[in-house]
Structure 1
Amino acid sequence: MAGKFARSWALLKASAAVLRSDKSLLVFPLLSGLCTLLVAASFLIPVGVMVIGNEHAGEPFEQGMTAGAYLLMFGFYLVQYFVIIFFQTALTGVALMHLRGE
């Protein structure tokens, strides 16, 4: 167990050293956060407008979720994690290239 912790700690220190030496790598987490917020807004704003529109039309908010709501949640999950994994993979690839001296 101590060996695993030591290897993880060494990898963390190597990753921090790469980030300190090349500040341009911080663009990836920044873009990831920005795109994550854009994806969240693109899903949450229409849902909010629909809920507010239904309340103004006199239709009460339904307690249960419909199949469409589950599909919308799944679409949000799929798009959101695609964006997150895309930018994490790009950061990992560039950091590995940097560690190899490329």
Structure 2
Amino acid sequence: MNRQTVSSSNIHSIGYDPVSHTLEIVFLSGGIYQCRGLPVTVYQALMTAAFKGSYFYVSHSQCLSNREDWLIIRRGNPPLFNIANIYHALESCVAQLQATIG
């Protein structure tokens, strides 16, 4: 799977396989996780989000609601998501909505 390096405090790179609908995230901690069955729109939204890690955890938690959906390729230290990350993600979401609404 081809992955793109991203600017994030928790994520190193993100990839998506359109055949298997698999999202792959490589965390800065070294962990590599995959989630199957996600539409390409989740990947596209994640790649354009200002705060990618927080945006994924706040806006697209299909896999997070059931840990069994994750395929762990390599375990790393768990990513640190705190209230500040979530706040920034919400700010980003609100700003994107305001820009869309006009």
TM-score (norm 1): 0.27
The structure whose residues are more often strand, as a share, is 2
Structure showing greater radius of gyration is 1
TM-score (norm 2): 0.27
